[in-house]
Amino acid sequence: MEWIIALGVVALLIGFAVRQVIRQGKADASEGVLNTLEIPGGLTLRLTKTELIEGYGDGKRHPVAGLVASVEEGGSVNRRFTVTRIVALGVLAAGVPKKIDDRTLYLTIEGPQTVIVHEIPVKKSPQIGASARTFAAALNQLSKAAAPASSVAVAAPVKSAEPVEEGLSAKLRELARLRDEGLLTDDEFAEKKAALLAQF
């Protein structure tokens, strides 16, 4: 009788898990999710052409444009000798030290109004490093594609009859105008201005 109850509980848990996966699959399809990253601990990051979504349902949403993702590694893989190995293997234990993996990955996503940092222990999921790097690359690629087409690239200076100061002033005024009209952010303006000043 007890095994029937245990079997029923297991079947119920499996049914719940399958139902959850189907529900998440439908949500991903309806929202146009291109890439997902499951972080140990229950959080799922989802990526569409225009948004980064944290979780499901009422998950926090961030516009993709302007986001930059990176995966950094901390910690190390150490090898050490354990008493059980020395007792079991004797002198041969020197050739077979135990591998201790305490590495942790840090997924960092930064943008104009977004800072997200997730710690991902490699020990719990050794393959997550490749998944996190693939997700970061996809996010960076979508961010570049979503960059406003109106951002103005500062062209190399053209030799002209006008004095250098007047050409520089005109270009700086043009950048300021684009910023004032909202076509450039303050950060883009500062970047373009620095690049322009470096050319003269």
CA atoms within 13 A on the CB side of 137: 6
96 touches 81 (CB < 8 A)? no
87 touches 74 (CB < 8 A)? no
- Of 40, 44, 15, 12, nearest to 27 (Cα)? 44
- One digit per residue, the tens of pLDDT, for the chain of length 200 reads 788 888 888 888 888 778 776 776 676 676 777 888 888 777 888 888 888 888 877 778 888 888 898 888 776 555 555 666 666 666 565 666 556 666 678 888 888 888 888 887 777 677 778 888 898 899 999 888 887 654 444 444 444 444 444 577 778 788 888 878 778 788 888 888 888 777 76
In the prediction, which pLDDT does 75 show? 60
φ, ψ of residue 44 to 5 degrees: the values are: -120, 125
Between the two ends of the chain, the Cα-to-Cα distance in Å is: 86
Distances from the Cα of 96 to the Cαs of 88, 93, 100, in angstroms? 11, 5, 12
d(CA 197, CA 188): 14
Burial 20-52 (b: 16+ CB within 10 A, else e): eeeeeeeebeeeebebebebeeeebbbbbeebb
